[in-house]
Amino acid sequence: QDMTEKELLKMELDQLKKEVKNERQMISKTGKELKDYIESMAGEDPLLKGVPEDKNPFKEKGGCTIS
């Protein structure tokens, strides 16, 4: 894109101002919470248990045969 260096620096500064407002937490705490959440939701995860054939939106609707 045709942005001047000043515009790029202003965008970066604006982004840093937003990021500095984020509350930080220790990874020792958030890591355990994330692990517990993932393990509690594993039973509902279609990537782990699969998608039933009747609910699979990517299943081919029909086939084509050439004879």
**Residue 66 is assigned to a structural domain of this protein:** no
Task: Provide the residue range defining the domain that includes 35.
Answer: 5-55
pTM over 0.85: no
Place of tokens 């990517």: 58
CA dihedral 36→37→40→43, nearest 10 degrees, is -130
**CA 63 to CA 32: how far, in whole Å?**
47
**Residue 64 is assigned to a structural domain of this protein:** no
**Residue 19 is assigned to a structural domain of this protein:** yes
Sign of CA dihedral 17, 20, 22, 28: positive
Domain total of the chain = 1
**Residue 41 is assigned to a structural domain of this protein:** yes
CATH of the domain at 13: 4.10.260.10
Q: Per residue in 12-23, pLDDT tens? A: 999 999 999 999
Per-residue pLDDT of the chain (67 residues; tens, 9 = 90+): 688 999 999 999 999 999 999 999 999 999 999 999 999 999 989 888 888 888 888 887 777 778 7
